[in-house]
Amino acid sequence: MPKFMKLLVAAAAIIALGSGMAQARDQVKIVGSSTVYPFSSYVAEELGATTKFKSPVVESTGSGGGHKLFGNGVGLNTPDITNSSRRMKASEFEKDQKVGITEITEALIGYDGIAIAQNGANAPFSITKAELALAVMEMVPVGGKLVKNPYKTWDQINAKLPKRKILFYGPPTSSGTRDAFAEMVIGKFAKKHKDLYAPISPKGKAKKYESVRQDGVYVPAGENDNLIVQKLTKDKAAFGIFGYSFLEENSDRISGAKVDGVSPTPDTIAAGEYPISRSLYFYIKKAHLDKVPGMKEYVELFMSEKMIGPRGLLKRIGLVPLANDLRKQVQKDVLSYKNLTLEDLKH
Amino acid sequence: MQISIDPKQLKRRERRDRMFVGYSYAAIFLAGAFLVFFFADIVRTAWSAFEQAELRVELHYNEEAKEMGDYALSEEMSYLVSRGVTRLIPNQMRENRSLLGTTQEKWVLADAEVDQYLKGKPNRLKKKERQLVDRLRDEGHARLAFNIGFFENGDSKLPEMAGIWAAAVGSMYVLIITFLFSFPLGVATAIYLEEFAPDNRFMQIIEVNINNLAAIPSILFGLLGLSIFINFMGVPRSSALAGGLTLSLMTLPVIIISTRAAILAIPDSIREGALALGATRWQMVLTNVLPLSLPGILTGTIIGLARAIGETAPLMIVGMMAYIPEAPDGFTSAATVLPAQIYTWSSDSLRAFTERTSAGIIVLLAVMLLMNGVAIYLRNKYETKW
Amino acid sequence: METSKIFLYLFCGLIPLAVVAYFLATKKTYSVKFEGETFQSTPGSYGWYAIVCTLFPALLASFLAAILQLTGIVEVPGTALIATAIAIAAGGLWVALMTIKPSLRARAIVEQLIVKLLFVASLVSILTTVGIVLSVTFEAIKFFDMVSLWDFLTGTTWNPDEAVAGKDTQGVFGSIPLFAGTFMITGIAMLVAVPIGLFSAICMAEYASPTFRKIAKPALEILAGIPTVVYGFFAAITVSPMVVSAAEFFGIEADFTNALAPGLVMGVMIIPLISSLSDDVITSVPGSLREGSLAMGAYRSETIKTVVLPAALPGIVSAFLLAVSRAVGETMIVVMAAGLRANLTWNPLEGMTTVTVRIVDAFTGDQAFDSPETLSAFGLGLVLLVVTLILNVISLVVIRRFRQQYE
């Protein structure tokens, strides 16, 4: 008998330990883009360290995965905020509305430039967007027809460029950075030659052509890899394609090439002069604002000058801040939790 | 009949024999050599992580510092001190009003780049900053102290503040849940299969099934965990419960197989003796078979749990690969585990994290060695040869 | 009401009831009413009988309610669930107390129930397999709607963002380069693991002294216990640069994400698997075979080569197949050390990717969840499951034949 009592007491204790302690959710849950992840987790940590709120949990699921989890429903077992390295799609917005997520606030936090980086000791390198496209695409126009990309050295594309072999380490197909890069560089080029590209593009729209060459000149690699920097330091001819924040973090070993004559710096990216840049967002599920402690404070902290301002902490880790007027407008809209509408997304 | 033995052939065979023995010992030594090399390499990289740079600075608790902690230091020093220190200053001043207007000299945590510089590793300090650090070091205001923070703190984006505490607690919670679910189910299944099951087709299917489960790639258990525990049953994502349930399914076959082996090892004479004295089957199992096979069962369980504690792939899918700086305080709050922490640190681009990854690996290996050691000890002490 | 609170209240209600049931039941067996008659079972059994009657119907009912709730058929409010369960429990207790009499075979009832519970426990393992198969197949079917099974299995290009003329969804999903990568790395691993593992097993089984074995066996088990993420880190940070430098020494260019580094490390990880399984098999070859061979004048090594190993061959083959299955399904080492590029090549120094890496990448990537790329993970997972299952079944059949031979 005593043995059995001990067992029961132990069982009760464990159950009490597990379930009694778990109250209604007291932690903000954030999912989404791997590009926004470093900034989001920085703010999360700051919140947890300097206030009495628990640090928000930030998961790097990718923008697509983030939107899916966000759109699972409006209950407390779904994420509160999703980070995104691209604007929410109209289709995602409509799906959210259908599940009951009727009030969403969009927060534009800054820009991310996509840098073409090389070994820091190399001479400065400058190319046009078109030349970059020609180096990277699967099919290129030669003599009025599309052929498989034959260029192996840069001087084959433009005689004024050095005789340097073409080699890229870039994001893999699952990455949002790759999508952005393909859209801005390859898609735009295809659009300019749309009679050539439209027949082989999805839905016949040349601007959606995003195929990267598969012959080993473009090597997919992770985005935040020490391996890429290692490779660039060893292989002086290679280029790495990744977000500006990574370039900034390793600025002692690598430097960015000029595209269309513009170097990737926070000023040129913010002003839109650097031609390969994209906006970073996070989306707030308004229904959770009053139910999850710390959520409002997280949003306020993120939107503060201390974080996303021109001398803010996030700039130090590579976020390119918005221009002053735009930033002030966004801060005002977000802190008043302005509702996102379908019309906004269609622009 | 005359049997002639050719001495040359004999010699050749003897030589081959000796070489064969040599190969087999060589194999073991090769494996051992790898083990030594591996540990030496990890310890070498991890060694520096157990020390962390500190600077002795003057903190002026002035008006500006109440807003932004950086202003408590001179401008050049504020770049050298860790942000983890300066961000706490406003709160400290708010809680302790008497600090305002005072100046204190303290040892504080240095920024990761200073830390890397003092350890002689590649860093991003500018020339002026390096000179300043050199000066501080000469004055005795810079030192490398034991990195207690590594064991006390949770994860952080600032390498100098990052520690494994949160991951360790998370691992412990996950381990408890895994044990709670897989041990009773596993032992129950094994007892049933060995003692009570009729020998028919269905039982054979169950047996084949268990052996298969033991060899299914771990990542598929993650997919199962995602669709059944999280999507269907609504277990919170990233929680110790979700991870524990998934891992318990993975550990189940291991426990079943080793429990069966332990039970099989007990001779039938013990069973028959109990039955002869009038015990029912269940009583016989409960009072004779189970206690005697318990050491074997425990050994198998510990080894299974040790494997579970090192698993990463299924937990990735269940959401435990997140940035969770604080230790979980229950089974349903978000948690991360030691191997996941190691993986996240290893993919961070900041160099200072490399040494921490190795240090985290040492902690994980220490836990595993401990568990395996306990299992082996139990096995040696209680193993009875029937 | 929150699930955890429901659990808490339920157990807080039921456990005291169960304890009360035990006490009341045992007390009843001592009661004056039955004096003179002998009970079928000991008082403790009646106590347990009462507990069973109290808890079992209540737990069964709440379990059913939970299932109904989860499948969305009926909405069960938390308070109703707890109240009903406790009411049922009280009812059960009353029934139990009423039915206790000397002729009640309490022990038999309780023990039969226990056996049934044990059986249900063993069903969990089947449910797990079914669960895995279902969860993977369900999504994989969605994938094979978009990409034909034939193209998937025989295509030699894996390029998720290649535009396919005339189709709406993007991507060419020929999985052969992925499987080629998996098998290349597995092959390298086997080349390392089989000789070392087999010879280690021979050494431990035939030649080693007990003290040597006492040190060597735990050492090999340590190798087995090292977490795969640690092996992966080691492969990426230490072994990979070593391979690249070694290749440079010979004037060949090697990629940092070559297949040799993860292959080698995976081989080391598999050594203990092969060695311990082979050790068991070799030791179980009957001594009579060995002694017969030695009596004929063979050297020890010749005995091993010509008699023991062939006899143990089925077991060794089975171990080999299990090891291959483990290597094919291994994730962390390849995620950290192998590349991301689907590359169909014979050269192990080039970067290539494997099935498991792509599965992880598809789940942690940025693309939309319903895109063919994410679903391809399920397609790959399904093929992975089938392949490992086949390998395991063959391995089991082989070892069963072996056991039949010698037992």
Q: Give which of B14, B44, B174, B223 to mutate to test C binding, by max C Cβ within 10 Å.
A: B223
Q: How wide is the angle at C-alpha C258 spanned by C-alphas C255 and C263, nearest 5°?
A: 160
List the CATH number of the domain containing C210.
Answer: 1.10.3720.10
**Cβ density class B356-384: b for 16+ within 10 Å, e for less:** bbbbbbbbbbebbeebbeebbebbeeeee
**Predicted confidence band of residue C163 (pLDDT cuts 50, 70, 90):** low
Dist. CA A328–CA A310, nearest whole Å? 12
Q: C194 and C129, same structural domain?
A: no
* Residue B1 pLDDT: 56
- Give the gap in angstroms from C-alpha B24 to the nearest C-alpha of chain C: 5
Give per-residue pLDDT as tens, A177-206.
888 888 889 988 888 888 888 888 777 777
Total of domains in chain C? 2
Out of A59, A252, A317, name the one closest to residue B322 (CB): A59
Contact between C114 and B307 using a beta-carbon 8 Å cutoff: no
Nearest Cα to Cα of residue B161 among B74, B89, B86, B94? B86
Q: Tell me which chain C residue has its CA closest to the CA of residue B43.
A: C234
Distances (CA, A) of C373 to B224, B234, C377, C387: 19, 26, 7, 21
In a domain, C167, yes or no: no
> What count of other Cβ atoms lies within 10 Å of the Cβ of residue C210?
6
Q: C402 and C349, same structural domain?
A: yes
* Residue A225 pLDDT: 67
DSSP state letter for A171: -
Q: Does C5 touch chain A (CB under 8 A)?
A: yes
In a domain, C161, yes or no: no
* Residue A21 pLDDT: 40
Final residue in a domain of this structure, among C105, C134, C163: C134
- Give the gap in angstroms from C-alpha A127 to the nearest C-alpha of chain C: 25
Which of chain A's residues have a Cβ under 8 Å away from the Cβ of B349? 224-226, 229, 246, 249-250
Q: C305 and C192, same structural domain?
A: yes
User: What DSSP string runs through C137-194?
Assistant: HHHHHHHHHHS-HHHHHH---EETT---TT-SS--EE--HHHHHHHHHHHHHHHHHHH
Give per-residue pLDDT as tens, A267-289.
888 888 888 888 899 999 999 99
- Give the gap in angstroms from C-alpha C125 to the nearest C-alpha of chain A: 24
Contact between A60 and C236 using a beta-carbon 8 Å cutoff: no
Nearest Cα to Cα of residue C125 among B197, A101, A174, B273? B197
Dist. CA A324–CA A195, nearest whole Å? 41
Give the containing element (helix H, strand E) for C271. Answer: helix C260-283
Nearest Cα to Cα of residue A211 among A221, A201, A220? A201
**Predicted confidence band of residue B213 (pLDDT cuts 50, 70, 90):** confident
Mark out the alpha helices in chain B (DSSP H runs).
Answer: 7-47, 63-67, 75-78, 83-86, 89-95, 112-118, 127-139, 149-152, 165-191, 201-215, 218-224, 240-264, 268-276, 281-284, 290-309, 313-318, 338-346, 352-382
CATH 3.40.190.10 fits A113-277, yes or no: yes
Out of A26, A44, A251, name the one closest to residue B323 (CB): A44
Find out whether C90 and C18 touch, Cβ atoms under 8 Å: no
Final residue in a domain of this structure, among C87, C116, C134: C134
Could you give the dihedral angle defined by the CA atoms of residues B121, B127, B129 and B135, in that order, rounded to the nearest 10 degrees?
Answer: 90
Contact between A174 and C366 using a beta-carbon 8 Å cutoff: yes
In a domain, C165, yes or no: no
Q: Please give the residue that has the higher pLDDT: either A174 or C92.
A: C92
The CATH architecture that domain A23-111+279-346 belongs to is 3-Layer(aba) Sandwich (3.40)
Q: C294 and C383, same structural domain?
A: yes
Give per-residue pLDDT as tens, A212-246.
888 888 888 876 667 788 788 878 889 999 888 88
Please give the backbone phi and psi of residue A243, each rounded to the nearest 5 degrees, phi first. -70, 155
Q: Tell me which chain A residue has its CA closest to the CA of residue C14.
A: A12
DSSP state letter for B67: H
Q: What is the pTM of this model?
A: 0.85
Residues C265-278 have a mean pLDDT of 91
Q: Are strands A239-243 and A104-119 parallel, antiparallel or unpaired?
A: antiparallel
Dist. CA A117–CA A229, nearest whole Å? 9
- Give the gap in angstroms from C-alpha B67 to the nearest C-alpha of chain A: 10
Q: How many CA atoms lie less than 13 Å away from A84 in the CB half-sphere?
A: 24
- Give the gap in angstroms from C-alpha B359 to the nearest C-alpha of chain A: 18
Percent with pLDDT over 70 in chain C: 92
Q: Are strands A104-119 and A254-256 parallel, antiparallel or unpaired?
A: antiparallel
* All chains having 3 or more CB pairs closer than 8 angstroms to chain A: B, C
Name C73's Cβ contacts closer than 8 Å, sequence gap at least 6.
none
* Residue A19 pLDDT: 46
Contact between A60 and B90 using a beta-carbon 8 Å cutoff: no
Q: Give which of B230, B349, B350 to mutate to test A binding, by max A Cβ within 10 Å.
A: B349
**Cβ density class B45-77: b for 16+ within 10 Å, e for less:** bbebbbbbbbbebebebeeebbeebbbbbeeeb
Give the containing element (helix H, strand E) for A97. Answer: helix A90-99
Q: C87 and C176, same structural domain?
A: no
Residues B270-285 have a mean pLDDT of 90
Find out whether A47 and A297 touch, Cβ atoms under 8 Å: yes
Nearest Cα to Cα of residue B250 among C219, C231, C131? C131
Out of C8, C163, C165, name the one closest to residue A19 (CB): C8
Whether the pLDDT of residue C327 is over 80: the answer is yes
Domains of chain B: 56-91+100-145 (no CATH), 165-382 (1.10.3720.10)
Whether the pLDDT of residue B36 is over 80: the answer is yes
Contact between A15 and C5 using a beta-carbon 8 Å cutoff: no
Distance of CA B41 to the CA centre of its chain: 18
Contact between A15 and C362 using a beta-carbon 8 Å cutoff: no
Q: How wide is the angle at C-alpha B17 spanned by C-alphas B15 and B18, nearest 5°?
A: 65
Q: Give which of C41, C73, C115, C118 to mutate to test B binding, by max B Cβ within 10 Å.
A: C118
DSSP state letter for A242: E
Tokens (6 digits) for B94: 């708010």
Residues of chain A with CATH 3.40.190.10: 23-111+279-346, 113-277
Which of chain B's residues have a Cβ under 8 Å away from the Cβ of C308? none
Domain containing residue C246: 172-406
Distances (CA, A) of C106 to A328, B274, C48, C117: 78, 20, 8, 17
Q: Tell me which chain A residue has its CA closest to the CA of residue C161.
A: A211
Q: Give which of C1, C137, C217, C230 to mutate to test B binding, by max B Cβ within 10 Å.
A: C230
In a domain, C378, yes or no: yes
Q: C186 and C265, same structural domain?
A: yes
Find out whether A308 and A110 touch, Cβ atoms under 8 Å: yes
Q: Please give the residue that has the higher pLDDT: either B259 or B376.
A: B259
| DSSP reduced 3-state for A167 | coil
DSSP state letter for A212: B
Whether complex ipTM tops 0.90: no
Which of chain A's residues have a Cβ under 8 Å away from the Cβ of C339? 219-221
Report, as ranges of residue numbers, the positions in chain A whose pLDDT lies below 50: 1-2, 17-23
Dist. CA B175–CA B314, nearest whole Å? 14
Give per-residue pLDDT as tens, C169-205.
667 788 888 999 999 999 999 999 999 999 999 988 8
* Residue C144 pLDDT: 86
Distance of CA B33 to the CA centre of its chain: 23
* Residue B223 pLDDT: 85
Contact between C203 and B364 using a beta-carbon 8 Å cutoff: no
| Among the ranges given (A203-207, C86-90, C403-407), the one the predictor scored with the smallest mean pLDDT | C403-407
- Give the gap in angstroms from C-alpha C246 to the nearest C-alpha of chain A: 15
Find out whether C353 and C183 touch, Cβ atoms under 8 Å: no
DSSP state letter for C351: B
Helix axes C176-202, B7-47, angle to 10 degrees: 120
* Residue C12 pLDDT: 81
Nearest Cα to Cα of residue B117 among B52, B162, B73? B52
Give per-residue pLDDT as tens, B328-372.
888 888 889 999 998 888 877 677 888 888 889 999 999 988 888
* Residue B202 pLDDT: 86
Q: What's the burial of A3, exposed, middle or buried (CB within 10 Å: 0-12/13-18/19+)?
A: exposed
Final residue in a domain of this structure, among C134, C155, C185: C134
In a domain, C156, yes or no: no
Contact between A199 and C2 using a beta-carbon 8 Å cutoff: no
Q: What's the burial of A18, exposed, middle or buried (CB within 10 Å: 0-12/13-18/19+)?
A: buried
Q: C184 and C65, same structural domain?
A: no
In a domain, C147, yes or no: no
Tokens (6 digits) for C267: 């081989």
